[in-house]
Structure 1
Amino acid sequence: MELNYEGFYRFVRDELNVDLNAYKEKQLKRRIATVMKSSGALTLEDYSELIASDEVIRNKFLDYITINVTEFYRNKDIFTDFEFILRDYLNRQFKNIKIWSAACSIGAEPYSLAMILDKNNIKTNEKIIATDIDDNILKKAKDGVFKDFEIKNLDKKDLDKYFIEKENKYYIKDNIKGMVSFKKHDLVLDKYQKGFHAIICRNVIIYLKSETKDEIYKKFNESLVKGGILFTGATEAIYNPKEFGFKKISTFIYEKI
């Protein structure tokens, strides 16, 4: 008997420890159909067998299902607002700042944060914690090698200071790379660390169901110290921030109250 989507989701949870029930159904099924077709499988049952037996197909499935589109200083105007708050508010309120870049994808975001800390001489006791669900993406992030379209928002001064250009690729310098610690973490299934002064989670929550979003916002609030900041994506406004213990202080930036 062929697997239905419920059975396939259960298989993915058991075998890959990824909860697909947290994602918006229509978008998810469309993405599964696309990546399944590329594998040559005709049914979810055949596809599950390929995922279980073929590492290449398994990694392609994970890469496609978990969203990994990013760039340095994505939505630059909004990122500039966050830099101002980090420098002129958080840096003055707290002696040492602890930062979490959640769902960090290829590393452009935590490395952007590291450059901000360096440029503004902001001190931290710990490395920026950068997490993602995808092992392959984390490896790419740790490598710190980027293409021209991923660094398009950076000016020449930052490129010269923080990157080495070689054969049309941009290699992040070791001093910035050393400011970030990459770890695997699932926002839906795993526990959250506490004591953060800033959490950046952008352009990921939009793909999740409303009840999953709400639970994540509550967990983010619990992970932040009072007065800490949550920075969300440009399509991820929290319309009822007080419900989750936040107040809006700028576009897509919220303070724990």
Structure 2
Amino acid sequence: MELNFDFFNDWVQHRLGIRLDAYKERQMQRRIANIMTAAGATSLEQYAKLLEADSVARHAFVEHLTINVTEFYRNKSLFEMFEQRLMTQIVPQFDHPKIWSAACSIGAEPYTLAMILARNNIASGRIVATDIDDEILKKAKAGLYQSNEVKNVSARDLDKYFAKNAEGKYQVSPMLKNKITFKKHDLLKDRYESGCHVVVCRNVTIYFKADARDEVYRKLSDALVQGGILFTGATETIGQAEEIGLKKIDSFIYQKV
């Protein structure tokens, strides 16, 4: 089946404001073809008409594209390393650390960061959490999670920062929620945060083409103050970090110089 991806890429950018051309082509085309077929469309022109008319299908499409797979303390050993760097590199330098959780998905990452702040008595820390998907942001703000999503949270922290409801789901405490401001943001087109002491952007750029990935890292570096740190995902490496003002100080952690 021959699919007109040029047409669909243009339609998605014009109608939904999402740049598909920045994503790895084969991977993205395969994902689009799969969800198009599942929706019962036989061409991308037909699928575009369906998305135009049906808000439920449109939401399913955006959610499928944005790959919202996450959990609390994803790659827990790396978060332990990050916590150590936060306490040794950031807290001694900055009185009111600003942390940006970029592409935060369902909120597990910023709430993990909020737990780290609370556990270390960093009351002055504030977290901005952003994502491209409105519905995912609603879930993040609600702060209600399945047991598999909190499996890496210690029993002590589950008891302290969550309430288990009658359905066996875990509700984040107001104390953690109050530390976070959620916003909609597209890493590929929107203005970035500034004056950040920490930026956490994990498991996102692996889906981007090289030029888009490099541009995102450059802008993330610009978002940091000197001495701030960038925490990336377990499969992400910044090849020419020094060219954008970063130096690697630990596995998947970079510092603005």
The count of residues paired between Structure 1 and Structure 2 equals 255
Q: Which residue of 2 aligns with 1:103?
A: 103
The sequence identity of aligned pairs, in percent, is 53
Residue 204 (str. 1) matches residue 204 (str. 2) = yes
Amino acid in structure 2 at the alignment position of 1:160:
D
Displacement after TM superposition at 1:3 (Å): 7.1
Does 2:58 align with 1:58? Answer: yes
Which secondary structure does the structure 1 equivalent of 2:72 belong to?
coil
**What TM-score, normalized by structure 2, do the two folds share?**
0.97
* Conservation of the 8 A alpha-carbon contact between 1:87 and 1:122: no
Query: Aligned with 2:129: secondary structure?
Result: strand
| Alignment-derived partner of residue 152 in structure 2 | 153
> What is the CA deviation profile of residues 58-95 of structure 1, one whole-angstrom value per residue up to 9, with x for unaligned ones?
00000001110000010000010101111122000111
Q: Partners of 1:168 and 1:113 in 2: how far apart? A: 23
- TM-score, length basis structure 1: 0.97
Deviant stretches of 4+, over 2 Å: none
Aligned partners of 1:171, 1:27: CA distance in 2, in Å?
A: 35
Provide the aligned C-alpha RMSD in A.
1.1
Matching residue of 2:130 = 131
* Partner in structure 2 of residue 250 of structure 1: 250
Question: Aligned partners of 1:229, 1:168: CA distance in 2, in Å?
Answer: 36
1:238 alignment partner AA: I
Indicate if the aligned counterparts of 1:247 and 1:256 stay in contact, CA closer than 8 A: yes
Distance 1:256 1:198 in 2: 10
Matching residue of 1:48: 48
Q: Which residue in the other structure is 1:7 paired with?
A: 7
Residues 34 and 226 of structure 1: CA distance in aligned 2, closer, same or farther (over 3 Å): same
Matches of 2:94 and 2:246, distance apart in 1:
18
- Cα distance in 1 for residues equivalent to 2:39 and 2:178: 38
Which amino acid is 2:142 matched to? D
Distance 2:206 2:124 in 1: 30
1:97–1:196 Cα contact (<8 Å) kept? yes
Separation in 1 of the partners of 2:238 and 2:168? 39
- List alignment gaps of at least 5 residues for structure 2: none
- Report deviation, 1:251: 0.2
Alignment partner, residue 89 of structure 2: 89
Deviation track 1:215-248 (CA, whole Å, cap 9, x = no partner) reads 0111011110001100000000112211221000
One-letter amino acid of the counterpart of residue 144, structure 1: G
Shift of the alpha carbon at 1:4?
1.5
Offset from partner CA, 1:141-173 (integer Å, 9 cap, x none) = 000000011101011000000000112100001
1:60 maps to amino acid:
A
Q: Which amino acid aligns with 2:220?
A: F
